[in-house]
Amino acid sequence: MRVEFGSMRYADVSSFHGLRDDDMDSQTDSKDHHIPAPPYQSDSGEAIARQLTGQLHCIGCGYNLHGLSIRSNCSECGIPVRATILGIVDPHADELSSLFKPRLTAIGLNLWSIGAMIAVVMIWVLRCAEVLREFAGTTWTPTLAPWIGLGALGVSLIGALTLIRPHKQINRMEAIRTAIGVSLYAPLMVVYNSVYLGYDAVSPSPMLDPGSSTVERSVLRIAIFVIAAGIIWSIRPQAVGLAVRSVVVRTGRVDRQSLLAVLASLGVAAFGDIIHVLGSLIAFGFDDVLSIVSIAVIALGSALFTVGMVNICLDTIRLYPILKRPGVGLSDIFETNQQKSQRIE
């Protein structure tokens, strides 16, 4: 992405580590939290005039501050106009490239995250049903859960398509990287189908007692983790690039989920399956212990991944109104002295 904030170029979106990353935080210092008062004079004639010429509503009561001086207070509640400017106006809004289809991009980002989240939830439904059958003696088998999960992956795929090139300042290599990530949905859906509509459909207890298919199922699960990690890694620059369009996200005023943390949780779950495979292929003499350890590690990684996905969904929902409409910039509420002179003439 070719977006410049002062001396910082958002073309290198890969330098950010996710929706909550140290590098992104290091780019935002105290000056991001303060918008200097617009100057009143300039030799070039481009200085900002001292009155609000656009539509700006008070951050406290919603009163329209149009026409008021930036040094005055709201006529209704008395909150300083500058407080509203600091709280609402994004000083870099004018430098962001416009999205081709703002509403479509906002919807697509949410479809991508929520669809993936539903697919994960359906796996938890299957595992909970398995535990109930094993320890509570129930016969409940959620046969529709894997189908819903597979359909949710398709929804996530459709959403991911909108993230390939949402605006013109994304270069070809960035778009290709995202497109490669989107293409990984095809093998992901194939392996998802093989595990949860194949092996799990014929085994009464695929996690706790998979029987003779233990190695094959674990290898396929490792493949799911690897493919999912590839998708997240490929789409991450576009997700971060959209997230930084929010001034509160960019300045660190709200928490945001790190995509690298989500990738790490996938690694933990995959490590659990690797332990299971090694315990099945090599006689260590304590296979039962390795089996318990592998299940515990898989459960831990899966839980961390699920929490991360929930947070990503919350982040994308919060970004929806921001992406749907452009941010309020200084030029939206002020006019330059030159513009004022032209208007008077």
In this prediction, residue 40 carries a pLDDT of: 40
Say what the pLDDT of residue 144 is.
Answer: 94
Closest CA to 331 of 102, 3, 96, 41: 96
CB atoms within 10 A of CB 131: 13
Alpha carbon of 34 to those of 10, 14, 90, 132, 193: distances in Å?
A: 20, 26, 10, 55, 51
| Both tokens assigned to 328 | 């309020």
The ranges assigned to domains in the chain are 4-95+328-344, 102-324
What's residue 24's pLDDT?
A: 43
- pLDDT tens digits in sequence order for the chain, 345 residues long: 333 333 333 333 333 333 444 444 444 443 343 444 444 443 433 444 455 556 677 877 878 887 787 778 888 888 888 777 766 666 555 556 778 898 999 999 999 999 999 999 999 999 999 999 888 888 888 999 999 999 999 999 999 999 999 988 889 999 999 999 999 999 999 999 999 999 888 887 888 777 667 888 899 999 999 999 999 999 999 988 888 777 656 666 556 778 889 999 999 999 999 988 888 887 666 777 888 899 899 999 999 999 999 999 999 998 898 888 765 555 555 554 454 455 455
Residue 105 near residue 163, CB atoms below 8 Å: yes
Q: Are 316 and 19 in contact (CB under 8 A)?
A: no
Q: Residue 177: which of 113, 135, 240, 219 has the closest Cα?
A: 240
Q: List CB contacts of 269: < 8 A, sequence separation 6 or more.
A: 221, 225, 297, 298, 300, 301, 302, 305
Q: What is the pLDDT of residue 225?
A: 95
Return the pLDDT at 291.
83
To the question of pTM greater than 0.75 for the whole model, the response is no
pLDDT at 233: 95
Model pLDDT, residue 250: 60
Q: Are 196 and 146 in contact (CB under 8 A)?
A: yes
